[in-house]
Amino acid sequence: MYLGTQVKARSAVDFQQWAQLGVFNVSSDPPGHPRTWTRDDLARHKEKLESYGITLDMVQLPVSCMLPDDEFNSPNIMLGKSPERDREIDVIQNIIRWCGEVGIPSVRYNLYIIGIPRSEREEGRGGSSNETFRWVKMDPDAPLTIAGMVGVDENWDRIDYFLERVVPAAESAKVRIACHPHDPYTPDGYMGVTRVLGTVEGLKKFVQMHESPYHGLNFCQGTITEMLDDPGAEIADVIRWFGTREKIFNVHFRNIRGHKLDFMEVFPDEGSVDFSEVIKVYQEVGYKYMLMPDHVPQISGVDRQGTAFAFCYGYITALLQSIGEPRKQAWVTKGP
């Protein structure tokens, strides 16, 4: 396993900084909206990153990652509307095929309807501003989305329709497709939706549908700990279940302080999960892809995001070295 990032580069300077910080593997998207990408766009982007010594491990598919009324995120897949969803799936199949042709080994995606609900931000370490989810502060009668009421069976039917068409495309292209869990767990019916990928049991069912070595998870450890009553005690066995079945294709290596329905997102060294121990579990199950930070707290300074992520890169690098990883490295002295 090895360090990675999915941070969107603001300029070529970020590519240089990633290489300088030892971030040699990334999930990064070509310019333009994914629905307009071509094979050449993907190839050029891959070549550009390689000029900095960086490997393009993954790109993001244009599948719903926010509310379904966002027209740029293939809303009809989770709205269950045909023939619109078939046209959206055609675009996704093409991107997967092109990734295989140009040598991008994996893609990530979401199947959200209600997005990522959060309560108000709270003060964290040293006065940082941190995301929280306190169910007692949420409105249990929050309005429905344009999806209306979506129960368990409807949700699974729409997911099954998608997987039935996309998993064969992934197998043909030999490209791993990695789905992000629903973030966070919410009680059934919140905003009209029962989030079937918001529980560990739901994720287990998901990876066993249309079983394939190319169908698995963008394993957001932060989101999965948000499903647990005692994250520090429970997360290791969850990693073992998915890891031993080779269903973990990427890891969002982030921490929370708290538990299901009541948590704050925090830096990796200060949460409910001991990262110095849990990283050994990924090694135990033979996990072999990226570990990347995700959802960092907002801190003070000129480059608040860049500094916060740089801290996480260094922290993850030290953890990897402490267990004899990473197995992948590159070295460059400059970009083009």
Two tokens at 155? Answer: 């949700």
| Contact criterion met (CB below 8 Å) for 4 and 23 | yes
Give the C-alpha separation, 95 to 112, whole Å.
20
Per residue in 201-220, is it b (16+ CB within 10 Å) or e — as a string? Answer: ebbeebbeebeeebbbbbbb
Q: What are the domain boundaries of the chain?
A: 2-322
Chain centroid, CA 307 distance in Å: 21
Name the CATH topology of 2-322. Answer: TIM Barrel (3.20.20)
- What is the dihedral sign for C-alpha 38, 44, 46, 49? negative
Q: Hey, what amino acid is at 21?
A: L
**Residue 57 CB burial class (10 angstroms; 0-12, 13-18, ≥19):** buried
Give the C-alpha separation, 232 to 138, whole Å.
25
CA distances from 13 to 8, 10, 16, 149, 253 (A): 12, 8, 5, 45, 24
φ and ψ of 15, to 5 deg = -60, -45
Closest listed residue to residue 118, CA positions, set 252, 6, 226: 226
Measure the CA dihedral 151/152/157/160, to 10°.
Answer: 140
Other residues' Cβ atoms within 10 Å of the Cβ of residue 74: 27
Contacts of 122 (CB under 8 A, 6+ apart): 129, 130, 132, 264
- Walk along the chain (336 residues) and give the pLDDT tens digit of each residue: 999 999 999 999 999 999 999 999 999 999 998 889 999 999 999 999 999 999 999 999 998 755 555 656 888 999 998 899 999 999 999 999 999 999 999 999 999 999 899 999 999 999 999 999 999 999 999 999 888 999 999 999 999 999 999 999 999 999 999 999 999 999 999 999 999 999 999 999 999 999 999 999 999 999 999 999 999 999 999 999 999 999 999 999 999 999 999 999 999 999 999 999 999 999 999 999 999 999 999 999 999 889 999 999 999 999 999 999 976 655 544 444
